[in-house]
């Protein structure tokens, strides 16, 4: 697929490291060690059109029934980490790359790497934090602090951390959504929870396991959200050792996006960064 730059909508950018910049993060409930990130094509011949997010006031008028009627007959042709419409690069003119960190939630994913967050704050490094509703529910006091933190932008990581599929596909053993309506609910239940509970209006969405089909990505756009993927992985689903995370922080060209985690304090992510 074509790798397309995020347009004018803002993604928090970290400070420049070794002329390359700071990175972004994704997450998986499945086996992270099995996760192989495809090599991006830096010079695509025919960029695929990107679904453009709807204006906020337009997306507010979009109903679950309207989405169902629009897409109920659509048959997806793509599935994976990189499908049409998923953003995998940021604008590279500044010489920076994007750092994002995910919090997946669930029985084994509801921790908080406070030292990592504190280090980013102390060093003035910005990051986009993708939060799942399950994680938010278990960490309400932390969420209240993150909402007010100027270096962090909060983004939508789904309601139950499910891959976004209209026909029930799975990734890493994690069952995906199985219909257009389930895609809508996985996106919007967390979107509305964050808005109602913390007055946060997310502009970015990353599905659970970062897997999608192109129909789900189009639904994201209709709902006013940019589907954000990544360029290359940072911490292999929070399983990488610190000595592997550190060089990965430098091994990224301008415009790249790397995925890591801030919900696994025992992982090597924080120390490596």
**Domains within the chain, CATH numbers bracketed:** 52-272 (3.20.20.370)
Rounded to an integer, what distance in angstroms lies between the CA atom of residue 208 and that of residue 163?
A: 5
DSSP string, 87-154: B-B---TTS--EEEEEE--STTS----HHHHHHHHHHT--EEEEE-HHHHHH-HHHHHHHHT-TTEEE
Based on the number of CB atoms within 10 Å of its own CB, is 19 exposed (0-12), middle (13-18) or buried (19 or more)?
exposed
Backbone angles phi, psi at 129, to 5 degrees: -105, 115
Rounded CA-CA distance 26/38 in Å is 14
CA 180 vs CA 72, 137, 206: distances in Å: 6, 25, 17
H or E stretch at 216: helix 214-222
| pLDDT at res. 114 | 94
* Whole-prediction pTM: 0.80
pLDDT of 235: 81
Tens-binned pLDDT, residue by residue, of the chain (273 aa): 433 333 333 444 433 222 223 333 334 443 333 333 333 333 223 233 445 565 444 555 689 999 999 999 999 999 999 999 999 998 877 788 899 999 999 998 999 999 999 999 998 889 999 999 999 999 999 999 999 999 999 999 999 999 999 999 999 999 999 999 999 999 999 999 999 999 999 999 999 999 999 999 999 999 999 999 999 888 878 778 888 888 888 777 789 998 899 998 888 688 887
pLDDT attached to residue 47: 30
pLDDT of residue 7: 33
Biggest alpha carbon distance in the chain? 50
Pair of tokens at residue 56: 């906020």
Closest CA to 104 of 80, 137, 81, 127: 137
pLDDT at 53: 63
Given this model, what pLDDT does residue 61 score? 66
Two tokens, residue 180: 């257009």
């Amino acid at each position: 697929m074509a790798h397309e730059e995020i347009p004018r909508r803002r993604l928090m950018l970290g400070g420049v490291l070794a002329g390359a910049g700071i990175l972004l993060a994704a997450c998986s409930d499945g086996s992270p060690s099995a996760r192989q990130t495809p090599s991006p094509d830096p010079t695509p011949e025919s960029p695929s059109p990107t679904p453009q997010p709807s204006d906020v006031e337009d997306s507010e008028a979009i109903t679950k029934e309207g989405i169902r009627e629009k897409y109920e007959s659509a048959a997806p042709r793509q599935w994976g980490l990189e499908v049409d419409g998923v953003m995998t690069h940021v604008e590279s003119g500044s010489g920076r790359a994007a750092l994002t960190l995910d919090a997946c939630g669930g029985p084994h994913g509801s921790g908080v790497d406070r030292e990592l967050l504190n280090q980013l704050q102390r060093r003035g490094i910005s990051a986009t934090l993708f939060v799942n509703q399950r994680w938010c529910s278990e960490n309400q006091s932390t969420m209240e602090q993150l909402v007010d933190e100027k270096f962090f932008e909060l983004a939508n990581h789904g309601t139950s951390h499910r891959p976004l599929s209209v026909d029930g596909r799975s990734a890493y053993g994690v069952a995906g959504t199985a219909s257009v309506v389930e895609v809508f609910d996985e996106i919007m239940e967390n979107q509305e929870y964050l808005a109602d509970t913390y007055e946060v209006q997310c502009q970015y969405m990353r599905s659970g396991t970062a897997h999608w089909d192109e129909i789900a990505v189009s639904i994201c756009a209709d709902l006013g959200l940019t589907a954000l993927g990544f360029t290359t992985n940072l911490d292999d689903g929070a399983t990488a050792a610190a000595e592997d995370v550190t060089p990965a922080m430098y091994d990224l060209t301008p415009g790249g996006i790397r995925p890591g985690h801030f919900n696994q304090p025992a992982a090597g992510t924080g120390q490596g960064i």
